[in-house]
Structure 1
Amino acid sequence: MRESEPLTLYVVYTAKPGCREAFVRQIVMEGIADTIRREEGCIRYDYYFSAQQEDKILLVEQWQTQAHQRIHLQQPHMARLRELKEQYVADTRLGRVTLEEA
C-alpha cells in the first residue's frame, strides 16, 4: 500500500447497550463529522445504522490518499472522538479497501 493510493475505510462500531443513537448524535452536535468532511482529502465520511442489529453503526470513510487519512488521525478533534468512543462504544472493527491499477 502506498501513501498516494486512494483509501476507503469501513468501520463497524458495536455500541454499548442503549448508546448507538447517542454516540452519533454527540458527534453531529459537536460538529466533529462536519469538521472531518471539510478536511483536505476527505471524499466521504458517513454514519449508518443497522436495521437488524440495534447496537451496530457503520462508518464509511473515503480519502483521496492514505496520506490524507493518516494526517486526519492527528487532528485535534480526533482526540474528542476517541473520548466519545470510550464512553459509547464497546467494540470497533476496521476494514480497508484500496484501489489498485489493473
Structure 2
Amino acid sequence: MAITINIYYTGKEGNALKFAKEMMSKGVVERIRSAEGNLKYEYFAPLEDKTTILLIDSWTDQAAIDRHHASSMMQEIKDLREKYDLTMKVERYMSDQDGVPESDQKFIRE
C-alpha cells in the first residue's frame, strides 16, 4: 500500500518557490526520485496562494520513508527549509489498494 505525503511549504517573498528551485538545482530532487521505494516527488504551485508550494511525495511503504528520513538528504532539506524560513503543513494518505471504484470511474476522462 503506497503512502503519499502532501507537504505545503509556505514562506514570504517567494521563498517557497526559491526553495523548490534550489532543491532541483542542487540535485536533491533527482536523488530522492532515484531512492529505493520512491514513487513520486513533484512540486506544484497553488494558483490562489503565491506564498506556498505543494510537494507530493509518494513511497511504496513506511520502510521506504524511514530509509529516506535516515538519509543524509534530510539534513540538506532541513538546511534549505531553514535558509528560506519555511513553515510546513503536512497531510498523509494511504492508497486504496482496489483503485478507483467503478461508481467513480464515470467521472474520469482518460
Q: Give the Å deviation of 1:101.
A: 5.6
2:31 aligns to what SS in structure 1? helix
1:61-72 → structure 2 map (5 Å cutoff): 61-72=57-68
- How many aligned residue pairs are there? 98
Contact 1:20 1:88 in 2 (8 A): yes
Q: Give the Å deviation of 1:18.
A: 3.0
Hey, what's the Cα distance between the residues in 2 that align with 1:61 and 1:89?
21
Change (3 A) 1:52 1:40: same
Q: Which residue of 2 aligns with 1:15?
A: 11
Hey, what's the Cα distance between the residues in 2 that align with 1:63 and 1:39?
10
Q: Give the Å deviation of 1:59.
A: 0.4
Q: Which residue of 1 aligns with 2:21?
A: 25
Structure 1, gaps ≥5 residues long = none
User: Going by fraction, where is strand more abundant, 1 or 2?
Assistant: 1
Structure 2, gaps ≥5 residues long = 99-110
Hey, what's the Cα distance between the residues in 1 that align with 2:51 and 2:88?
12
Q: Give the Å deviation of 1:24.
A: 1.1
Change (3 A) 1:70 1:17: same
**Higher relative contact order by CA 8 Å / sep ≥ 6: 1 or 2?**
1
Q: Give the Å deviation of 1:6.
A: 2.1
Calculate percent identity across the aligned residue pairs.
Answer: 26
Q: Which residue of 2 aligns with 1:36?
A: 32
User: 2:48 matched to 1:52?
Assistant: yes
Contact 1:23 1:84 in 2 (8 A): yes
Which TM-score applies when normalising by structure 1? 0.87
Hey, what's the Cα distance between the residues in 2 that align with 1:20 and 1:68?
25
1:73 aligns to what SS in structure 2? helix
Q: Which residue of 2 aligns with 1:92?
A: 88
CA displacement 1:63-85 (0-9 Å, x = unmatched):
01111011101111210110000
Q: Is the radius of gyration larger for structure 1 or structure 2?
A: 2
